Structure 1
Amino acid sequence: MSAREGTVRTAVITGASSGIGAATARALHAAGYRVALLARRGDRIDALAAELGDDAIAIVADVTDRDSLVAAAQRVQDELGGADVLVNNAGIMLLGPFASERREDYRAMVETNLLGAITATEVFLGQLEDGGGDLVNLSSVAGRTARATNGVYAATKWGMNGWSESLRQALLPDVRVTLIEPGVVDTELPTHITDDATRQAVQESYDAARVKPEEIAEVIAFVLSRPRHLVINEVLLRPADQA
């Protein structure tokens, strides 16, 4: 039973400055949640918090910096009463041929996509357990398959999948764990790719994407709306025409 049962729930969303993170913040706020928007780009989350109005706060935090997450958790506790939901959405997709000169891209993906989610969860876990919480981890179709140019990105998502299953077992019944695995979604992920040829090819497929971040956010909101005795542990979503 939630220690805060009967009260308004609070959702913390990492990577809330754009894409699925921003859409999830809007969807959960519309569903009655207080929301804490965490991201590095303060101007974007400030604007989103202003758009949402009451019960939304913007906190500049980097998931690769534990101290910033600890400070964020303290603000969430002090200003919103603690986190009931953590959405681990922050991530980067630096695709390209495997090569030594791209080693900084590989480190950045591991530190953001996998270690960042692990650290955010470790920092907020006490609040989630206190509130009978929910943990939502954003993975990818790349957590189930790999291609020649996405090896390290896929490795971070395969890691997210395995870690999420371990957490599911370790945290039940106090914290529900859900893994969301989208395919191509209309987001800015390709713009960060440092390999020019890969970025162009990936951008073309994303430009044609029909699945919008709001549609993934709707799924997350639905998962969280289920009664406490039911947990949807894994959701795989693809565009209908994605092979």
Structure 2
Amino acid sequence: MSHPSPTAAASKVVLITGASSGIGEATALALAAAGHHVVLGARRTDRLAVLAKDIEAQGGSALPLSLDVTDPADVRSFVAAAHDRYGRVDVLVNNAGVMPLSRLDALRVDEWNLMIDVNLRGVLHGIAAVLPVMREQGHGHIVNLSSVSGLRVDPTSAVYSATKYAVRALSEGLRQESRELRVTVISPGLTRSELTGSIGDSGVRDAVREQMDIAIPATAIGAAVRYAIDQPDDVDVNEIVVRPTAQG
């Protein structure tokens, strides 16, 4: 039995992966402040607990849950827990990601596989977990975080860009297959977050950090997510690119 879709002004149940810092944390704060129920998923549960407490102290609604997006069973449990609590899943924000940039000839194969597991398989696991719920409801919205690296490739970004190009391809395929679901891709440019901390190659890490003086705050991306999900149900914002004005 399908349930009516909430209106754009209604509180929505929004699941956010990678919610313990950066864009995920900023998105959770923005959506909770707008009156949405946020379900916070990440491996660092201590940080999730602090975030949930902060949200609730400001009058918001937050449910922190342990989540490893590389484990499909864990992602299914995350979605099931949210559904059990609220009775529906309106939005999934596939935000969890890693960015250990390096040249291909550095042969950092474990890092390549980590990016594929988190950035690509993690998104697929999220889609697989929410699609049956959203189909049954007759409505839903999947927001996938890509990157400007999903629009262009630079030296050291080959594998990272490959995963982000793939996220955009998946999103477009899902959009075309869906008439009752909305699908949004958000591609941030240089944004202040902890992503640079995952770069194991010290030379590349230093080079990226030198560029971060022009980076925009993660709140800019949270605002983009909020804009997309707050549109009327018949308006599907398919893609948003958010860059610093000074980024080339």
Please report the TM-score for the alignment, with normalisation by the length of structure 1: 0.95
Q: Which amino acid aligns with 1:231?
A: D
Does 2:235 correspond to 1:230?
A: yes
In 1, Cα distance between equivalents of 2:77 and 2:232: 31
Instruction: Report the counterpart of residue 42 of structure 2 in structure 1.
Output: 39
Instruction: Report the counterpart of residue 219 of structure 1 in structure 2.
Output: 224
Instruction: Report the counterpart of residue 67 of structure 1 in structure 2.
Output: 73
Q: Pick one of 188, 206, 228 that aligns with 1:182.
A: 188
Secondary structure of 2:92's aligned partner: strand
In 1, Cα distance between equivalents of 2:3 and 2:232: 12
Shift of 1:96: 1.0
In 1, Cα distance between equivalents of 2:65 and 2:108: 31
In 1, Cα distance between equivalents of 2:74 and 2:121: 14
1:161–1:179 CA contact under 8 A, matched in 2: yes
Shift of 1:2: 5.5
Instruction: Report the counterpart of residue 14 of structure 1 in structure 2.
Output: 17
Q: Pick one of 148, 151, 154 that aligns with 1:144.
A: 151
Gap runs ≥5 in structure 1? none
Aligned residues: 241
Equivalence map 1:147-186=2 (5 Å): 147-172=154-179, 174-186=180-192
Gap runs ≥5 in structure 2? none
Instruction: Report the counterpart of residue 29 of structure 1 in structure 2.
Output: 32
Instruction: Report the counterpart of residue 5 of structure 1 in structure 2.
Output: 6
Instruction: Report the counterpart of residue 105 of structure 2 in structure 1.
Output: 99
Moved more, 31-40 or 97-106: 97-106
Secondary structure of 2:186's aligned partner: strand
Change (3 A) 1:124 1:187: same
2:214–2:246 CA contact under 8 A, matched in 1: no
Shift of 1:238: 1.2
Secondary structure of 2:241's aligned partner: strand
Secondary structure of 2:96's aligned partner: coil
| RMSD of aligned Cα (Å) | 1.5
Shift of 1:31: 1.0
Shift of 1:55: 2.3
Instruction: Report the counterpart of residue 82 of structure 2 in structure 1.
Output: 76
In 2, Cα distance between equivalents of 1:69 and 1:223: 23
Secondary structure of 1:99's aligned partner: helix
State the Cα deviation string for residues 38-93 of structure 1 (Å, max 9, x = none).
Answer: 01111111111111115211001110011111111121011122210000000000
In 2, Cα distance between equivalents of 1:59 and 1:128: 20
State the Cα deviation string for residues 77-135 of structure 1 (Å, max 9, x = none).
Answer: 11122210000000000101113640000000001001100111111112233151111
Moved more, 130-139 or 184-193: 130-139
State the Cα deviation string for residues 178-230 of structure 1 (Å, max 9, x = none).
Answer: 11011100111111111111111112212x13411101111110111111111
Percentage of identical aligned residues: 37
Q: Pick one of 198, 201, 205 that aligns with 2:204.
A: 198
Shift of 1:4: 4.9
Secondary structure of 2:108's aligned partner: helix
Instruction: Report the counterpart of residue 209 of structure 1 in structure 2.
Output: 214
Q: Which amino acid aligns with 1:125?
A: L
Instruction: Report the counterpart of residue 242 of structure 1 in structure 2.
Output: 247
1:186–1:209 CA contact under 8 A, matched in 2: no
In 2, Cα distance between equivalents of 1:135 and 1:106: 25
